[in-house]
Amino acid sequence: MRQKNVDLQNSNRIMLSSITSRVGNAVFDYANKMILVSVFASRPLLMSLYQSSETMIGIVFNLFAGAFADKVNRKKILIVTDFLSGITCLIGFLFLDTPYLYLAMLIGNILLAILSTYNSPSYNAMIKESITEDYIETHFSRFTLAKEIFSIASPSIGVLVWQLFGLKVSYLFNAATFLFSAFISSKIVIQLPPKEKKKKESVFKQITEGLQYMFKHKTIMYLLIISAMVNFFLSGYNLSMPYLNNYFA
């Protein structure tokens, strides 16, 4: 019974930590896009640079993030990345009424994208350390359901916070969600510490092995290619959406 309670508590903490970060990100992203559309409406290039910076960061750093998460304490990664994300939002808040607004937004978006690439795989990697095998299936079903619900609700929350409280509160809200997420992550109980590997492999060797595995299993490679193509076309769609009102007004 005690084991089941620990599993349930860890599952709830992992879900709450992940979801609060997602909601904060949605509010931050919506607030920034509203600034770009309203303040920099005549310069859509700034919007494309803002969005492409996040994508390029993801392409580069995702190569190393998974391997890094396998070598370092995952709980510490979650706490540190969420804490630094919160501090980044607080620093960005200080630049909202300055001539350096766009530069602060761009740098903040890049930093959050970098931290997110290390944060996301750490959640999945830590599940096997904090939740026993008997409860993992239940956790994944609950976690998947919660993520799907909040993937739909998060943009609405972003609109609501922006409309009711404005830009500054949106930034403070995002900082608070990240700091709260870091606090929740610190409460996760590690039950099954990872076994130490007899031979430590370098990050680059792990990346090479991952690529070899992908090329060996063609189905995985084709799925990744299809996903990349879908994201490529969606990027143009997402870029044009904020400006459609200017054409149909």
In a domain, 90, yes or no: yes
What pLDDT score does 198 carry? 46
In a domain, 67, yes or no: yes
In a domain, 227, yes or no: no
In a domain, 156, yes or no: yes
pLDDT tens column, 81-126:
999 999 999 998 998 888 888 888 888 888 988 888 888 777 777 7
pLDDT band at residue 142, thresholds of 50, 70 and 90? confident
Q: Which two tokens stand for residue 174?
A: 């995002």
Q: What is the 3-state secondary structure (H, E, C) of 202-235?
A: CHHHHHHHHHHHHHHCHHHHHHHHHHHHHHHHHH
In a domain, 243, yes or no: no
Give the C-alpha separation, 71 to 202, whole Å. Answer: 9
Range from 41-55, 95-109, 169-183, 227-241 carrying the lowest mean pLDDT: 227-241
Q: pTM for this structure?
A: 0.76
In a domain, 105, yes or no: yes
Range from 56-65, 90-99, 189-198 carrying the lowest mean pLDDT: 189-198
Average pLDDT over residues 7-27: 85
Give the C-alpha separation, 128 to 184, whole Å. Answer: 18
In a domain, 214, yes or no: no
Average pLDDT over residues 7-30: 84
Q: Provide the residue range defining the domain that includes 59.
A: 2-193
pLDDT band at residue 177, thresholds of 50, 70 and 90? very high
Is 60 exceeded by the pLDDT of residue 243?
no
Average model confidence (pLDDT) across the chain: 79
Mark out the alpha helices in the chain (DSSP H runs).
2-38, 44-71, 74-93, 101-130, 133-165, 167-186, 203-216, 218-240, 244-248
Range from 5-14, 34-43, 91-100, 178-187 carrying the lowest mean pLDDT: 34-43
In a domain, 213, yes or no: no
Amino acid at position 113, single letter: A
pLDDT higher for 4 or 196?
Answer: 4
Average pLDDT over residues 39-58: 74
Q: What is the DSSP string of 181-194?
A: HHHHHHTPPP-SPP
Residue 85: CATH number of its domain: 1.20.1250.20
Do the beta carbons of residue 22 and residue 150 sit within 8 Å? yes
Is 50 exceeded by the pLDDT of residue 213?
yes
Range from 37-51, 87-101, 123-137, 226-240 carrying the lowest mean pLDDT: 226-240
Do the beta carbons of residue 21 and residue 177 sit within 8 Å? yes
pLDDT band at residue 195, thresholds of 50, 70 and 90? low
Number of domains composing the chain:
1
